[in-house]
Structure 1
Amino acid sequence: MKITPTAIPEVLVIEPDVHGDARGFFLETWHARKYAAQGLDAAFVQDNHSRSRRGVLRGLHYQLNQPQGKLVRVVSGSVFDVAVDIRKGSPTFGQWVGIELSGDNHRQFYVPPGFAHGFCVLSESADFLYKCTDYYAPEDEHGILWNDPAIGIDWPARDFLISEKDAKNGLLGEMDDVLPVYEAGA
């Protein structure tokens, strides 16, 4: 397995070892000791699975008081997945990184607590799986507008199907009272 930091060092790309032959393939999607030895030492408490069709954009979501780290992957189809640093005082505040995840490339993306997360579906449909370091708390969920010009995410498409809730998300510059605070070394 190979774990590579992105331009925002806390956000990681994981390329698991895939063992394949004429019968198919096998890979470990989580092995606590192996991942910890490579620098990803997280305790996950919840697994989620979503299915979305082409053009769906979900996000940018985060929880403030119960922040979730997310280890995300796609088992069918493909998505463009994005993490945005929203930690006040962080040297990478307001910056984003994105990666294509697919059932074919088997990549995983680790989005740490303190980051907003979102994705758009590139294929006809996509099955998106993710492990979380804290439980989902709907009363604690917040969102940032997917096309906030201050962030400037270069989404690979423009014609999206977005939920009414996500369409009403605020701009990063207007959310100071509901953003996490950066803690160096945390």
Structure 2
Amino acid sequence: MSAARDPEREPKNGVPASKSSADGDLRRAVLDQADITRALTRIAHEILERNKGAADVVLLGVPTRGVELARRIGERIASVEGGFGAVGALDVTMYRDDLRLRPTRALGHTDIPDGGIDGKIVVLVDDVLFSGRTIRAALTALDDLGRPRAVQLAVLVDRGHRELPIRADFVGKNLPTSADERVAVYLHESDGREAVVIAKGPATEGGAS
């Protein structure tokens, strides 16, 4: 006789809802592909509503997954306001306050759309908002690029545990977590699968936070 299926352990887009191992690791998927799609669509509409259109909006993704998310949000904005293409990337590696602690961190790529950021509404896009130190670095990096009229922040997941007074303007999912958990974001472009997963283990900035 076959064992009964446990729906809590059924995979969501290739990621098990929960997975245990001998070392005590425990993972659970909290967002699947459909959830991520809905969250990004909502964020795009909220950006348009708050800024009364996208004429002055520039989306800058923080590498790596923030860039992918910015592109998707930009596509959704373009579907409402044709011609929108002000999407780029902002590498914050050399502006991080932990660079001396992690000197082997790879450089990312900065790509500013034509027209620059002076007088624009810059929306920074990242996958997970955690301590706030990555976004602090992004704000410092912007100082070297121009003077935007305003800076806003969009994140797929806000997991709390802020160490700096930074908050997101647009959030896909508020996800309460404990300090001993990691939040990992998987996207098709970089990972070949789509999910947001909570796992036990020390938190890091970027990718798994």
- Relative to its length, the structure with more helix (as a share) is 2
User: TM > 0.5 between the two?
Assistant: no
Structure 2 length as normaliser, TM-score? 0.27
Q: Which protein has the larger Cα radius of gyration, Structure 1 or Structure 2?
A: 2
- Relative to its length, the structure with more strand (as a share) is 1
Between 1 and 2, higher relative CO (CA 8 Å, sep ≥ 6) is seen in 1
